[in-house]
């Protein structure tokens, strides 16, 4: 097994390998499994899966530090061609999370929001996707109006 990233805090041991058609990943301690056509896509998707798994476990800290920490049954399934990575969770967009919370608070479905905005369900789904970063101020204004909510945009200076 090769190790291609150094271990660090809040990094999760991930096992990846290349199959005949796809790349596969396993994050053993979070029970995340993924498949993608390419290595880069797999790593992006796995980082997103880690972030989503941690949403329900905000205090979780990684425990697995290397191959020796893996379960004996899992070790028996490995053939040595796997790559061990330490992946950080993907960053989640707080704007998307705010939209999702506003929908829940208003008791409105994504389909209803799409109707009110005059757009597709897939467009609204993108707005609440925690890994989407393309929100425009105009769309946020429209969402706020559709939800009868107030929109606040704030820039806060960093402490020096």
DSSP string for residues in 57-114:
-TT------SGGGS-HHHHHH--S--EEEEEPPPPPPHHHHHHHHHHHHHT--HHHHH
> What's the whole-number mean pLDDT along residues 30-57?
93
Cα distances from 125 to residues 58, 73, 129, 131, 156, in angstroms, run 24, 39, 6, 11, 29
Show the domains of the chain with their CATH numbers: 2-87 (3.30.160.250), 94-146 (1.10.260.40)
Q: What is the pLDDT of residue 1?
A: 39
Question: Does pLDDT of 31 surpass 50?
Answer: yes
Q: Each residue of 96-142: pLDDT tens digit?
A: 999 999 999 999 999 999 999 999 999 999 999 999 999 999 999 99
pLDDT above 70: percentage of residues in the chain: 94
The pLDDT-based confidence of 60 (bands split at 50, 70, 90) is: confident
How many secondary structure helices (H) and strands (E) does the chain include?
Answer: 6, 5
Mean pLDDT of the chain: 90
Q: What is the pLDDT of residue 2?
A: 35
pTM of structure: 0.81
Q: Each residue of 66-94: pLDDT tens digit?
A: 888 888 888 888 888 899 999 999 999 99
């Amino acid at each position: 097994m090769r190790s291609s990233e150094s271990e660090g805090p809040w990094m999760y041991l991930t096992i990846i390998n290349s199959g005949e058609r796809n790349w596969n990943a396993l994050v053993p301690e979070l029970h995340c499994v993924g498949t993608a056509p390419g290595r880069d896509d797999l790593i992006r998707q796995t980082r997103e899966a880690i972030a989503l798994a941690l949403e329900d476990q905000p205090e979780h800290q990684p425990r697995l530090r290397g191959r020796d920490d893996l379960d004996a049954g899992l070790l028996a399934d490995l053939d040595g061609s796997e790559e061990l990575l330490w992946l950080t969770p993907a960053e989640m967009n707080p704007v998307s999370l705010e939209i999702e919370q506003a929908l829940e608070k208003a008791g409105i479905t994504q389909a209803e929001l799409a109707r009110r905005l005059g757009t597709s369900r897939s467009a609204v789904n993108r707005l609440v996707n925690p890994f989407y970063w393309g929100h425009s101020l105009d769309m946020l204004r429209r969402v706020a109006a559709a939800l009868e909510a107030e929109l606040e945009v704030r820039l806060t200076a960093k402490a020096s």
